[in-house]
Structure 1
Amino acid sequence: MPIGPITMIAIYITVWWTVLFAVLPIGMAQQDQSPPTDGAQWGAPADPKLKKKFITTTWVSVIVWAGIMLTIWTGWLPLPRLG
């Protein structure tokens, strides 16, 4: 493998955060525009379903990360030697 385990973990973390920001807006409906009375923010969703979004982010990230690792391992994306 042309990269080490720390680099592989760093790539996974980067992919996970990128996928998280793509998944967060999914399923959010436009709420009524009445002013909040409980101190909440105007744009805050009533039920963000974060646990479901984190699980979705994790399995989508595994698929994307595996594709990136396969691309690097097969040589389709050659990495320069730094040492």
Structure 2
Amino acid sequence: MSGFTSVAMFLTIWWTVLFVVLPWGTVTHAEAGIDKGDGGDPGAPVDPKLKQKFLITTGISIVVFGIVWLVIWSGVIKLPSLPSGY
């Protein structure tokens, strides 16, 4: 597996895991009983804790990518080889 393929796979895994992690522990303004006033979305999170969620996403992604890399490296799943002209 080339370096470009590894980076592309990691970023794909990272974004997928991010969308799973984003709703964890989120409290909306409506759930907290806070009035947003005119033009505010009551479904907006009070404190999204994005830095913490990015770190959790990175940790989970490293573990998942390691498993995917081991499966590919062991030969259980083989990636098709591209012609050398590309």
For the aligned pair, the TM-score class normalised by the smaller chain equals: 0.7 to 0.9
Q: Counterpart of 1:26?
A: 24
- The aligned length equals 81
TM-score normalised over the length of structure 1 = 0.85
Q: Counterpart of 2:14?
A: 16
Identity of aligned residues (%): 44
TM-score normalised over the length of structure 2 = 0.83
Instruction: Give how far 1:41 is off.
Output: 1.6
Is the 2:35–2:42 contact (alpha carbons within 8 Å) kept by the matching residues of 1?
Answer: yes
Partner secondary structure for residue 43 of structure 1: coil
Partner secondary structure for residue 80 of structure 1: coil
Q: Structure 2 stretches of 5 or more lacking a match?
A: none
Higher normalized contact order (CA 8 Å, seq sep 6+, divided by chain length): 1
- Please, what is the CA RMSD of the aligned residues? 1.8
